[in-house]
Structure 1
C-alpha cells in the first residue's frame, strides 16, 4: 500500500472512540470464545452423565460447537487482528465488528435449539462472512503471501456446511467433521510454523542463547505439502491402512520440525515454551490418529481425536490468545503465575481426557475431572484477561 493509504488507516484507527471491546477482533472473540468453551463442556458433561439434551443430538452438538463454534471464534479473533497487520488496512471495529459477533452468537443459539435448514443457515453465515472478510482484505491489500489462509478459512466454512448436509445428502459419515479438523490441523501447521520459530528466535536473541532455531524454509514447505496431501487422504478415506501409515509418517515429519525449533531452550519463558508444547500435541495427534486407524484396539478413534481437539487445539489456541492479548493490550510479554496456571489446567484436562479410557476408576468420574480442569483454564483466562480485553490499550 502507499504511504498515504497507511497514514489514512492509522488515522482512522486512532480516531475510533467506541467501546474498547469492539476496537479489535481479538477482544470480543477471545473473551466470548473462552466463555463459550467454559459453558459448552459442562452442558456436554450433563448430557453424557445425566442424559440432558442440548441441540437435539448432544454428541453431534458437542462435536460441532467445539470445532465450528469455539474454534471458529478464536480463528476470527486471530485473523481480524492479524490480517490488518499483514495488509496495513483498517481493522474491523465498532458496529461492523458487533455484527460479526452477533452473527456468531446467533449461530450458537441456533445450534442449541435443534436441527433444520434455518439452524444450518444461521450457523453457516458466520464462517462465510469471515471467509469473505479474509478474501477482501488480502486481495485489496495485495498480500499474496497469505492467500493460503483465505483458502483454508473458506474450506473450514465448507466443512461446516458439509456437517449440516451430510445426513440429508447421504454424504460419507463424518466428512464435515473431518474436513473441519483437517483444516484446523493445516492452520496450526502453517501459522504455528511461522510464529513459533519467529518468537523463539526473538526471545533467544534477547537471552543471547545459541544455536538459534531453524527459520521457516524449504523443509517446512515440504512438511506442509505432505500434511496437506495426507489430510485430503484422511478426509476421503479415513479407514484405509495407507492413510494410517501416511499419518504416522507425517507425525514423524512434524516431530523433526519441532526439534528444529529447539523448544527445550525456552522453558525459562512459559509464554514461548507453551507454543512448543502445543505443537507437540499436534505432532502427537497425527501419530495417534494414524495409530487409531491401524490399531483401533489399542488407540481408539475417539481418544486420537481428543489428542487433536482437547490437546492441540485447546493448548495452541490458548497460547495464541494469551500472547496476542498481552501484546495488543500493551502489557509486558511475560507469563505470570495466573497464565502458567491456565496452561497447566488445559494441559492436565486434555491429558486426563486422553488417559480416561485406560483409567481403572469410573469413566464418567474421569470425564468430569477432565472437563473441570479444562474449563477451569478457560474460566481463568476470562477472569484474568477479561479486564484487558474490555479496556483500552496501555500506551
Structure 2
C-alpha cells in the first residue's frame, strides 16, 4: 500500500492523471444519472440546478488536473528547467482534487459549491505561479507555447473567480461568463498550443517521410480568434466571421498534418482524428451563427459539444494514453481495448451532436451518449489507472 502511494505521487503526470481520472469518472457518473433519468422521465433531485453544475464541472473539474499532469512533465523539457518538486505539485493537485469532489457533492448540499470552487481557485492560482516561475527561470528563446499556456491558465483563474461569484450570489451571468472563458480562454488555447507543439513532433518521429508543419502564425491566429470570440460574445456581435476563419485554418491543418497517413500507427491516428473534431466544431459554429443572421435558431449546443466531447475529450484520451504508456516504460502501441474505447468516445460526441441537429428523440440520444461514455471510460480506467500506482516496467524512475 505504501509503495503504491509513493508511486502515485512520484511524478506530476501520475498524480495529475490519476486525480483527473477520478474526477472525470465522478462528473460523468453524476451527469449520466441525470441523463438516464431524463430518458426515463424521472427528474433526479439536485441541490444545484443540474445545467449549471454540469457547465462548471465539465469545464473546470477534471481538465485542469490533466493539464497540470502533462505540462509539469513535458513543459520543463520545453523550457530546459527542472521539473516541479513533489512539495510544490502535491498540495496543488490534492487541493484541486478535493475541491472538485466538493463541487460534485454540491448536488446534495449547496454549501459545498462555494467551498469546492474556492479551493479549486486557490489551487489553480498556485499552479499558475509554479508555471510562471518555470518560464521566468528558463533561458530558452522559444517560449511561445509556454507563454500562451500561462495566459490560458490566467484566464482560467479569472473564470474560476466568476464561478465563485456565481456560487456565492447565484448570479447566472457570472456562471455564463465563467463557462465561456473556461471553454474559449482556457481549454481551447491549451489544447491548441499542445496540439501545435506535439502532434507534428509525434508524427515526424514515427512517419517517414514526414515534414512537420507548425508555423507560429497558426497559434497567433487561432488563439487570437478564440479570445476575440469571448469579446464578441460580450458585445453581442455575431461571431460567424471569426468562426469561419478558425474553421478554415483547422480543417486545412487536418489535411496538412496528413490525417490519412496517421492511420499507419494507431496511437498517432488517435491524436489526428481527435484534432479533426476541432475543424468540424468550428464549421458547425460557423453554420450556426450564419443561420442566426437570417433569423433562425442555429444549431443549438451541437458546435459546443463537437468541440468539448469531440476535440477535448477524444484528444484527452489520446494524449493521456500516449503519455501513460511512454512514462510507464511500456511500448507505444494502442491495443484493441483502448482503440475501441477511443472510437466509442467519438460515438459519444457524434450522438450528442446529432441529438441537436436531427429530428430524433433528444433524451434517447443523450442517454446513448452517456452510456457510451461510461462504458469507454470505465474500460479504459480498468487498464490504465493501475499504471499510476505501479512501478515502471523498465525499472526506470518517474
TM-score normalised to structure 2 length: 0.85
1:204 and 2:202 aligned: no
- Which is further off, 58-67 or 42-51? 42-51
Unaligned runs of 5+ in 2: none
Instruction: Choose the corresponding residue for 1:235, options 209, 230, 236.
Output: 230
TM superposition shift of 1:360:
5.0
Q: Structure 2 CA distance, aligned partners of 1:369 and 1:170?
A: 29
Instruction: Summarize the alignment of residues 200-279 of structure 1 with structure 2, pairs less than 5 Å apart.
Output: 200-205=203-208, 210=209, 212-217=210-215, 221-238=216-233, 242-279=238-275
1:22 and 2:21 aligned: no
Question: What do you get for the CA RMSD once the two structures are aligned?
Answer: 2.5
- For the 8 Å contact 1:47–1:54, the answer to whether it is kept is no
Q: Structure 1 CA distance, aligned partners of 2:257 and 2:290?
A: 30
Q: Which residue of 1 aligns with 2:310?
A: 311
- Indicate how the Cα distance of structure 1 residues 213 and 380 shifts in structure 2: closer, same or farther if over 3 A, else same: farther
- Indicate how the Cα distance of structure 1 residues 142 and 157 shifts in structure 2: closer, same or farther if over 3 A, else same: farther
Q: Which residue of 1 aligns with 2:58?
A: 66
1:370 and 2:373 aligned: no
Q: Structure 1 CA distance, aligned partners of 2:224 and 2:327?
A: 35
Q: Structure 1 CA distance, aligned partners of 2:176 and 2:257?
A: 34
Q: Which residue of 2 aligns with 1:163?
A: 163
- Which is further off, 134-143 or 313-322? 134-143
Q: Structure 2 CA distance, aligned partners of 1:382 and 1:334?
A: 17
Q: Which residue of 2 aligns with 1:381?
A: 380
Instruction: Choose the corresponding residue for 2:43, options 51, 54, 61.
Output: 51
TM superposition shift of 1:47:
3.0
Q: Structure 2 CA distance, aligned partners of 1:348 and 1:361?
A: 16
Q: Secondary structure at the match of 1:237?
A: helix
TM superposition shift of 1:308:
0.9
Q: Structure 1 CA distance, aligned partners of 2:75 and 2:338?
A: 26
Q: Structure 1 CA distance, aligned partners of 2:25 and 2:344?
A: 12
Q: Structure 1 CA distance, aligned partners of 2:342 and 2:312?
A: 13
- For the 8 Å contact 1:20–1:389, the answer to whether it is kept is yes
1:77 and 2:69 aligned: yes
Q: Structure 1 CA distance, aligned partners of 2:274 and 2:102?
A: 31
Measured against aligned partners, the alpha-carbon deviations of 1:358-385 in whole angstroms (never above 9, x if no partner) come to 4555322221110111222222221111
Measured against aligned partners, the alpha-carbon deviations of 1:11-65 in whole angstroms (never above 9, x if no partner) come to xxxxx99711111121122233223222212312333423224461211111111
Measured against aligned partners, the alpha-carbon deviations of 1:207-235 in whole angstroms (never above 9, x if no partner) come to xxx3x244222xxx223222233223321
Q: Which residue of 2 aligns with 1:184?
A: 187
Q: Secondary structure at the match of 1:295?
A: helix
Q: Structure 1 CA distance, aligned partners of 2:80 and 2:379?
A: 33
Q: Structure 2 CA distance, aligned partners of 1:292 and 1:166?
A: 28
- Indicate how the Cα distance of structure 1 residues 143 and 157 shifts in structure 2: closer, same or farther if over 3 A, else same: farther
- For the 8 Å contact 2:192–2:223, the answer to whether it is kept is no
Q: Which residue of 2 aligns with 1:354?
A: 353
Unaligned runs of 5+ in 1: 1-15
- Which is further off, 71-80 or 111-120? 111-120
How many aligned positions are there? 372
Q: Structure 2 CA distance, aligned partners of 1:170 and 1:357?
A: 23
Q: Which residue of 2 aligns with 1:121?
A: 118
- For the 8 Å contact 2:162–2:175, the answer to whether it is kept is no
Q: Secondary structure at the match of 2:239?
A: helix
